Amino acid sequence: MATSSAATSSIDMSTTILIRVDQSGRGGFKKIQDAIDSVPSNNSKLYFIWVKPGTYREKIVVPADKPFITISGTKASNTIITWSDGGEIFQSATFTVMASDFVGRFLTIENTYGSAGKAVALRVSANRAAFYGCRILSYQDTLLDDTGNHYYSSCYIEGATDFICGNAASLFERCHIHSLSTGNGAITAQKRVSSEENTGFTFLGCKITGVGKAVLGRPWGPYSRVVYALTYMSGLVLPQGWNDWHDYAKHTNVYYGEYKCYGPGADRSNRVAWSLSLSENEAATFLTKDTIGGRAWLRPAPSNFKRGASATIAARTDENN
C-alpha cells in the first residue's frame, strides 16, 4: 500500500498549487500525464490539476511517490479520459492511482476494449483515495478497487462482469451502479482473504439498475464482504441475490448483508440462506464514513489556489508532442 511522505496533518489543506491542462494550448500542459509528471516526487503540498473539457486519449498513472494530487474536470460529461486495453487486470487500466491522498473530481474514465475480456477503467492501489461525480465505464472488471481506504460519492459505475472488484475498504455513497449484464453477471467481486482484514465494499444510499439480470456479488476471496444499505434495487437483481462462485465452503465465511433496501430487486424472500438481513445495530457500523476512517482523511475542496507549471515547462512539453 502506498504511503505518503508527509503526515496528512502537516499539510495545508486550504491552499493548493494549480496546474491547468488544456488541449488548445492555453494551459500549462496539453496532456494530463505531463501535468502529473511535473509534480515533485515526495511532495508535501496539495496539487490541483484542472482539466479543461475535452477527450484525452491517455493511459494515466499517478505514481506512488506523488501524493496529495487532485485531478478535476468541470463536468464528467465533457471531460473524458479514454483508452482501449485488455487482458491483464493490473496492466489494462486506463487510469491507475498508486499515490496516497488522491482525489478525482468530475471525470469520465473509460476503457473501450469491450466485452472480449478483462478491461479495467480505473485501478486504485493506494490508501486514502476519493472520487466525486465521476463516471467509470467498461465491461469486465471496470473498477479494480484494489487496496486501501476509498470513498466514492455520486459516481456512475458501469459494467457487466465483476465490475467492482478488489480488496479495498470502500464506501460508495449515493452512487449509480449500472449493469450491462444480459445474463447472470455479478456487480461485485470482493477479495477479502481473512476474517482479520478490515476490508469490504459498502453501498449506502445508492441506485442499482441494468439492462438484464445480475447478482449483487460473488466471492473473489473466501471472506468476501459486501453490504448494501438504504439502496434502490431495480428488477435487474436476481431473486437469489448472491452467487457463491461454485464454492460451497465460502458460505460460512462471506459477509453479504442488506439493510432497508427497496425496489423490486430488494425482495429478500428468495435470497440465498447464507446472506444476511441486517438489523439496525448490525448495520450501524456501515452507515457512516467511519467504516473507512474517512473523518481523519477526507478533505474539502481547496479554497485558495497558487499558480503552478510555468510557460517554459509547457513550451518544452509541446515540443515533445
Residue 51 pairs with which residues in a beta bridge?
21
User: For a pLDDT cut of 90, what percent of the chain falls above it?
Assistant: 86
pLDDT tens digits for 188-242? 999 999 999 999 999 999 999 999 999 999 999 999 999 999 999 999 999 999 9
Q: Which residue has the cell 447472470?
A: 184
* Cα→Cα distances 252→21, 196, 207, Å: 50, 15, 28
At 59, the pLDDT band (50, 70, 90 cuts) reads: very high
Average pLDDT, stretch 50-74? 98
> Is the pTM higher than 0.85?
yes
Length of the chain, in residues: 321
Residue 301: its pLDDT value, please? Answer: 87
Radius of gyration of the chain (CA): 20
pLDDT tens digits for 23-39? 998 989 999 999 999 99
Which of these ranges, 108-117, 195-204, 306-315, has the smallest mean pLDDT?
A: 306-315
What are the structural domains of the chain? Answer: 129-296 (2.160.20.10)
**Is the pLDDT at 183 greater than 90, yes or no?**
no
At 309, the pLDDT band (50, 70, 90 cuts) reads: low
Q: Of residues 101, 141, 145, 244, which has the active-site annotation? A: 141
Average pLDDT, stretch 149-177? 98
**Is the pLDDT at 317 greater than 80, yes or no?**
no
**Is the pLDDT at 152 greater than 50, yes or no?**
yes
Is residue 85 part of the annotated active site? The answer reads: no
Residue 124: its pLDDT value, please? Answer: 98
The rounded distance, in Å, linking the Cα atoms of 169 and 202 is 8
Q: Are 27 and 21 in contact (CB under 8 A)?
A: yes
Is residue 34 part of the annotated active site? The answer reads: no
Average pLDDT, the chain: 92
Q: Sign of torsion, CA 276 277 280 285?
A: positive
The rounded distance, in Å, linking the Cα atoms of 1 and 296 is 18
Which of these ranges, 170-174, 234-238, 311-315, has the smallest mean pLDDT?
A: 311-315
Residue 8: its pLDDT value, please? Answer: 57
Strand order through the sheet with 156-159: 54-57, 79-83, 108-111, 135-137, 156-159, 176-179, 207-210, 232-233
The rounded distance, in Å, linking the Cα atoms of 299 and 103 is 9
At 297, the pLDDT band (50, 70, 90 cuts) reads: very high
The rounded distance, in Å, linking the Cα atoms of 257 and 229 is 8
